[in-house]
């Protein structure tokens, strides 16, 4: 069944990816109408999340943000398909690093870098950074259950020879790189919600106390890497500007949880400024009322 679904869907995805930009975004508008008005894809979850983190906003404001979010979400996921055919030059132009020289200065320190990212703006085009960096950039990704679509996602994200590591292998692979003196920049999306049995650290995110994913924090403390935050801003449709913001150059010397807390504050600033570009379909705050596991740290 997985193969049949993939076989039917792939030609459509490939065809959409080759459309000129104007037609491409016309398709995105159609997908938006279907997802928002007909299927009503996760609208209850999105509304619940927005109402939870923005209690001061009126229903009208929530609806406005919700609509803008769905339009952006459809653009972003279709832009992932565009990666099948987009040229290197076009991708660099549309996903522009505004402080590239500063990033190069961090790379020249000859220490690996962990780049903490959020589900904000466009995370699907972040492999563009590998086209302008000095050292290899490595993407951390979560495997898709359908193995055929997982291979497709791997092919899309690694199209320009970018290296990818599955999330469940990331710790041992980065440690192996460290042992071999291999210097890389590792991009990690770190605003996921951990499984409740693995919820060892709780702190406020958007004003709500929830468990925090600690993969990036753990590796930073253990391996003494440079930690940066990738700030992504949507300039206009199909165009993004990204900026590397320092979190720590000596992560091993920082207080415990310093890096992850600073990362959360930087992400919160972006969400509050332009909330429509955050991925509200995830149940990020689902554990807020859950019983905390024994030994959990609450900050």
How many domains are contained in the chain?
Answer: 1
- The Cβ of residue 114 has, within 10 Å, a number of other Cβ atoms equal to 27
| Residues of the chain with confidence (pLDDT) below 70 | 1-3, 5-6, 144, 146, 148-150, 154, 156-159
| Residues sharing a CB contact under 8 Å with residue 11, sequence separation 6 or more, in sequence order | none
> Which residue range forms the structural domain that includes residue 236?
2-298
251 and 259 in contact (C-beta within 8 Å)?
yes
pLDDT of residue 108: 95
Q: Which long-range contacts (CB under 8 A, 24 or more apart) does 14-23 make?
A: 14/81, 14/84, 14/85, 16/78, 16/81, 16/82, 17/81, 17/82, 17/83, 17/84, 17/85, 17/86, 18/84, 18/85, 21/238
For residues 184 and 112, is the Cβ–Cβ distance under 8 A? yes
- Looking at residue 124, its pLDDT comes to 82
Question: H or E stretch including 51?
Answer: helix 43-53
Residue 260 tokens read as 């992850």
User: Going edge to edge, which strands form the sheet with 208-211?
Assistant: 208-211, 201-205, 297-298
Complete DSSP assignment for 194-259:
PPGGG--EEEEETTEEEE---HHHHHHHHHT-EEEEEEEEEEETTEEEEEEEEEES-GGGSPTTHH
pLDDT of residue 171: 83
Query: 145 exposed, middle or buried (CB, 10 Å; 0-12, 13-18, 19+)?
Result: exposed
At 137, is the secondary structure helix, strand, or coil? strand
- pLDDT score at 157: 66
The rounded distance, in Å, linking the Cα atoms of 19 and 24 is 5
53 burial level (CB within 10 Å; 0-12, 13-18, 19+): buried
Bridge-based pairing state of the strands 208-211 and 201-205: antiparallel
Give the per-residue pLDDT at 129: 94
Instruction: Return the closest-CA partner of residue 159 out of 149, 167, 151.
Output: 151
> Which residue has 């199909």 as its token pair?
238
Structure tokens at 269: 């600033």
Task: For 256-280, give the DSSP string.
Answer: TTHHHHHHHHHHHHHHHH-GGGB-T
Neighbours of 81 (CB within 10 A): 22
User: How far from 265 is each of 68, 211, 258, CA to CA, in Å?
Assistant: 23, 15, 11
Over residues 103-115, the pLDDT tens digits come to 999 999 989 999 9
Residue 252: what pLDDT? 86
Whole-number pLDDT of residue 148:
63
- Sign of the CA dihedral running 196, 232, 157, 46: positive
Looking at residue 103, its pLDDT comes to: 97
Contact indicator for 138, 187 with CB cutoff of 8 Å: yes
pLDDT for the residue numbered 170: 83
| DSSP state letter for 142 | P
The single-letter DSSP state of residue 37 is: I
């Amino acid at each position: 069944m997985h193969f049949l679904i993939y076989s039917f869907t792939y030609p459509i995805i490939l065809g959409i990816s080759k459309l000129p930009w104007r037609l491409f975004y016309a398709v995105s508008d159609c997908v938006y109408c279907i997802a928002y008005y007909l299927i009503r894809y996760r609208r209850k979850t999105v509304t619940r999340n927005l109402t939870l983190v923005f209690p001061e906003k009126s229903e009208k404001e929530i609806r406005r943000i919700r609509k803008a979010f769905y339009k952006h979400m459809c653009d972003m996921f279709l832009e992932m398909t565009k990666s099948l055919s987009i040229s290197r030059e076009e991708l660099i132009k549309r996903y522009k690093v505004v402080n590239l020289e500063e990033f190069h200065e961090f790379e020249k320190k000859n220490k690996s870098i962990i780049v903490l990212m959020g589900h904000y703006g466009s995370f699907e085009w972040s492999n563009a950074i590998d086209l302008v960096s000095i050292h290899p950039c490595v993407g951390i990704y979560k495997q898709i259950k359908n193995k055929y679509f997982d291979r497709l996602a791997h092919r899309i994200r690694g199209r320009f020879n970018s290296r990818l590591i599955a999330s469940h292998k990331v710790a041992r692979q980065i440690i192996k790189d460290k042992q071999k003196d291999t210097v890389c920049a590792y991009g990690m999306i770190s605003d996921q919600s951990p499984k409740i049995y693995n919820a060892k650290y709780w702190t406020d995110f958007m004003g709500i106390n929830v468990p925090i994913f600690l993969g990036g924090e753990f590796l930073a403390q253990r391996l003494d890497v440079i930690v940066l935050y990738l700030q992504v801003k949507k300039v206009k449709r199909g165009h993004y500007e990204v900026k590397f913001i320092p979190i720590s150059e000596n992560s091993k010397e920082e207080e415990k949880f310093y890096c992850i807390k600073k990362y959360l504050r930087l992400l919160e600033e972006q969400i509050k400024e332009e909330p429509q570009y955050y991925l509200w379909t995830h149940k990020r705050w689902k554990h807020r009322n859950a019983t905390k596991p024994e030994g959990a740290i609450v900050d």
